[in-house]
Structure 1
Amino acid sequence: MSMNSVVTDPPEIDSWKPSTTDADQPKFPLRLAIGLGVGAFCWIVAYLGSVSILLPARIAEIDSVHKAAIVALNSTVAMVVATVANILIGASSDLTRSKWGRRTPWIWVGSIGSLVSLVVLGQVRSAGALVAVWAVYQIFLNSIIAPLLGTLSDRIAPRFRGSIASSYALGIGIGTGLGQLIGAQFLENIGAGFAVMAVVTALAGPAASICFRELSSLPMPKKAFSSRMVMDNFVFAHRDARDYYLALVGKFLVMLAKFSVQGYILYILTDYMLLGKADTAAYIAMTATIIMVTGIVMAFVAGPIADRIGRLKAPVIIAAVLIGVGVFMPFLSAQPKMILLYALIAGTGLGVFNSVDQALNISVLPNPETAAKDLGILNLANTGGQIAGPIVSAAVITAFGYHAIFAVAAASALLACGAFLAIRRVR
């Protein structure tokens, strides 16, 4: 995707290295770009199709009276499990010494585990079982995400990070739209919908093996178990981490704004805009398509432009403003057309954000040697926002009604701008 580079694979590095320099990678790594894009697509299409459409629909079937409370409980449990899983799996990935490399084995474990979890989820018939299986799914989901992000840090030279982040964002953008679009087609057969999502997720493992061709990490120095090793690899970053935590807060606030609306899209259409099942499915499909198209367009534009101008903060801040404006649209009216305006404006902002955000994250890492763990924790802002969004929405709906969630979401996006502006290390 870099305008200044020939789109081909670089010569293979013939020995394991913890990171990649510009000298190591003179040409754009197309194969890695494809692998990261496909891997991102595989996890996001299943996750969003499930969390936004199939999961709320199954909860409504199990207990329509208490559905908002069950969503909030499920989200809380999932957030706790995802937090622990991100740290432990990311750190374990950083330390893994195997002939298949550091990242690929974990992606395979996550792919197979996610497949089984989603198939089982399609068969549950009680709220307790649903919460438990969704929590297990969070463990395997993060076994895909943390190593994928670690690969972005390990294998991509600084000169290509904006463009490669756009490749990852392209997978996210397509998967976000298709996940909801596919999920909406299975509102009458939720079990089959979960099975389809399971199969898509399982493709992440083969994609990683084929595209990454990761070298053996057995030459990596083995770290002796000690209190210092645990502090460096299994806890939150604690040295030279100011900008890192500002990026974490900004990302969380952006995701909170997004998922306060997107995580409740089914109920917003049925309970706030008062649409029937057929119209709801149609508007979900239109909304998902708009978000997907804007995400794809921005993935081709935002990352390469960021690489060319050498700036990452400005695109991220502009993206947060667009998201804030977009999520505020349904506040102005309960007419269904406002959800389409939300999709267009916020979708454009999300496309820009997803295209540049990962490059910003890598630039503020406290220690590249713990990249998967630290990027996994940063991804907690993503996962946490996805989970916290419905919790916040449930609380706001209970206290003030559906109307208020759009103002809360907009305020969250604007607060994110302040966090990104305060970052010093990145222009």
Structure 2
Amino acid sequence: MTQSNVAAREAAPATVPAQLGPVDADGKPRFRLGPLYLTLPLANIALYLVWMGVGSFLIPIQVTEIKGHPDPEALKNAVAVGAALAAIGNPIFGQISDRTRSRWGRRAPWMLVCTLLGAGALCWQANATSIGMLAITWGCVQFILNGFQAALTAAMPDRVPPTKYGIMSGLVGLGIPLGTIVAAYTIGGIDLSKLGYDGIVGGFDGKFAGEKGYYLIAAFLVAAVVIFLLVTPDRSNKGMAVDRFDLKKFISNFGVDPRKHPDFAWAFISRFGVVAGYFTVLTYNMYILMEYVKVKPQDVNSTMGFLMVVNALSTVVAALFIGKLVDRFGRIKPFVLGSGVLAALSLFIPMVSGTVNGMAVFNIVNGLAFGMYMAVDMALITRVLPRGEDAGKDMGLINIANAAPQVAAPFIASWIVSTWDYEALFPICACIALVGALAVVRVKSVQ
């Protein structure tokens, strides 16, 4: 048995009680993985259609309409509250789902409840008429749907054997690029003139660049989750033991001692850095095109759609290819390091060529880097979870490394742009991403 397989087995969740049905050699309930290869990525695509479609398209559009002009300060205020609530919602709902006992399992009830409430909050946000109302509604969406995300991400440590972490991590990682493609196609449209073709694909004459876009995304989210729950249902866990509820213990259990679990802490730092470098640029993507590349206002949405699709396709290619290599060779850290170096290098391209073509090359290289990282991210995180029975809470904690950079990104980007202009945004983000990738070197239990 290789060192990586030993580490994987040591990191696997504790044996599941007999009431949950047959288990495999790693102590996990034996589920059919075939349907999960489809439903888990589909649910993740729906989730990231919210994060990318609303966060990258609909909110900047709303802010511009409310203020009458592009306003980075207003955009910062609109998104920061939501990201802060996301950081709180993930571990809270994760720990609640860990303690849930029902005929539908631990995660399914919270996935359904949070999805329905989140879809309702999206419809509310569609009608926001002020920056304050936009901030409040986006905060509700983020808080609620991070409860769904905590339950969804726990499906991998709950159901997937460690020998399949690489390919499943790659498939789950498709959520961001494919969610981006769907958002770009339906909301902004994709300008094919950059590929030598005439016209714009999708966009639907701006039909979904407003409240109808919110309704469409909410409907897609509900449909994807219903498919997940019907096609790949969880098992009853009513017979699974649970400690009597103690509020003090519940609150104290949110933390993970970095001295006892240093690999978990370093994995958290690594994800935080990589995601912060990515989102600090992504948050200002539309304004970069307007004010740095000088794209005409009427062409911004379709140009942004084209660039996001280029980035997404590159991410898909890298995620699928690297995911298979991880399972084959059992090594993760070299790919994390490689993704950080490549991401840092990509961020220098817009400095050299501040044009649409330069941004296209940047998005290709950056997409490959991010796809490489997404292919191994979940595989790395799942291997360093402290306790299998706390998978929901611990995945919720690690998901803060996704949400917290979104809190910091608008403030960091606004400060950088106001102090040094857009030219400084790229090298600073490159350094942040590189530091995050280097942190993975300190993870000892994973090769």
SS at match of 1:247: helix
Q: Where does structure 1 lack aligned partners over 5 or more consecutive residues?
A: 1-12
Give the one of 311, 323, 328 matched to 1:308: 328
> How many Å apart are 1:157 and its aligned residue?
0.8
Query: Are positions 1:393 and 2:413 aligned together?
Result: yes
Q: Which residue of 2 aligns with 1:89?
A: 93
> For residues 41 and 61 of structure 1, do their structure 2 counterparts lie closer, same or farther at Cα, with a shift above 3 Å needed?
same
Contact kept, 8 Å, 1:19 with 1:368, in 2: the verdict is no
Query: Are positions 1:320 and 2:334 aligned together?
Result: no
> How many Å apart are 1:14 and its aligned residue?
7.8
SS at match of 2:267: helix
> How many Å apart are 1:287 and its aligned residue?
1.1
Q: Specify the code of the residue in structure 1 equivalent to 2:48.
A: I
SS at match of 2:98: helix
Contact kept, 8 Å, 2:44 with 2:175, in 1: the verdict is yes
Give the one of 346, 357, 366 matched to 2:366: 346
> How many Å apart are 1:270 and its aligned residue?
0.7
Q: Distance in 1 between matches of 2:410 and 2:140?
A: 19
Which deviations, in whole Å up to 9, do the C-alpha atoms of 1:80-104 show, x marking residues without a partner?
Answer: 2112111110100111111111111
Give the one of 376, 384, 402 matched to 1:356: 376
Give the one of 26, 35, 47 matched to 2:51: 47
Q: Where does structure 2 lack aligned partners over 5 or more consecutive residues?
A: 1-16, 189-202
Q: Which residue of 1 aligns with 2:304?
A: 284
Moved more, 276-285 or 120-129: 276-285
Contact kept, 8 Å, 1:170 with 1:296, in 2: the verdict is yes
Q: Which residue of 2 aligns with 1:196?
A: 216
- CA RMSD, Structure 1 to Structure 2 (Å): 2.3
SS at match of 2:255: coil
Give the one of 102, 116, 133 matched to 1:129: 133
> How many Å apart are 1:242 and its aligned residue?
1.0
Q: Specify the code of the residue in structure 2 equivalent to 1:318.
A: G
Q: Distance in 2 between matches of 1:141 and 1:19?
A: 30
Q: Specify the code of the residue in structure 1 equivalent to 2:372.
A: V
Q: How does 1:11-160 map to 2 (within 5 A)?
A: 15-16=19-20, 21-22=25-26, 29-64=33-68, 67-160=71-164
Q: Which residue of 2 aligns with 1:218?
A: 238
> How many Å apart are 1:236 and its aligned residue?
4.2
Q: Distance in 2 between matches of 1:294 and 1:352?
A: 10
SS at match of 1:203: helix
Which deviations, in whole Å up to 9, do the C-alpha atoms of 1:48-69 show, x marking residues without a partner?
Answer: 0110111011011112468212
Contact kept, 8 Å, 1:97 with 1:220, in 2: the verdict is yes
State the number of aligned residues. Answer: 415
Q: Specify the code of the residue in structure 2 equivalent to 1:362.
A: T
> For residues 409 and 356 of structure 1, do their structure 2 counterparts lie closer, same or farther at Cα, with a shift above 3 Å needed?
same
Q: Specify the code of the residue in structure 1 equivalent to 2:294.
A: L
Q: Distance in 1 between matches of 2:265 and 2:246?
A: 26
> For residues 84 and 132 of structure 1, do their structure 2 counterparts lie closer, same or farther at Cα, with a shift above 3 Å needed?
same
> For residues 277 and 65 of structure 1, do their structure 2 counterparts lie closer, same or farther at Cα, with a shift above 3 Å needed?
closer
Which deviations, in whole Å up to 9, do the C-alpha atoms of 1:109-134 show, x marking residues without a partner?
Answer: 12112211111111111111111000
Identity %: 26
Q: Which residue of 2 aligns with 1:243?
A: 263
> For residues 74 and 196 of structure 1, do their structure 2 counterparts lie closer, same or farther at Cα, with a shift above 3 Å needed?
same
Q: Specify the code of the residue in structure 2 equivalent to 1:79.
A: A
Q: Specify the code of the residue in structure 1 equivalent to 2:393.
A: K
Which deviations, in whole Å up to 9, do the C-alpha atoms of 1:284-304 show, x marking residues without a partner?
Answer: 122121122112212321112
Q: Distance in 1 between matches of 2:66 and 2:361?
A: 32
Contact kept, 8 Å, 1:181 with 1:288, in 2: the verdict is no
Q: Which residue of 2 aligns with 1:267?
A: 287
Q: Distance in 1 between matches of 2:105 and 2:290?
A: 48
Contact kept, 8 Å, 1:177 with 1:291, in 2: the verdict is no
Q: Specify the code of the residue in structure 1 equivalent to 2:43.
A: G
> For residues 284 and 133 of structure 1, do their structure 2 counterparts lie closer, same or farther at Cα, with a shift above 3 Å needed?
same
Contact kept, 8 Å, 1:28 with 1:160, in 2: the verdict is no
> For residues 105 and 28 of structure 1, do their structure 2 counterparts lie closer, same or farther at Cα, with a shift above 3 Å needed?
closer
SS at match of 2:416: helix
Q: Distance in 2 between matches of 1:400 and 1:17?
A: 60
Q: Distance in 2 between matches of 1:228 and 1:317?
A: 39
Q: Distance in 1 between matches of 2:30 and 2:103?
A: 26
Q: Distance in 1 between matches of 2:310 and 2:23?
A: 37
Q: Specify the code of the residue in structure 1 equivalent to 2:119.
A: L
Contact kept, 8 Å, 1:326 with 1:342, in 2: the verdict is yes
Contact kept, 8 Å, 2:115 with 2:221, in 1: the verdict is yes
Give the one of 163, 168, 174 matched to 1:170: 174
Q: Distance in 1 between matches of 2:337 and 2:23?
A: 28
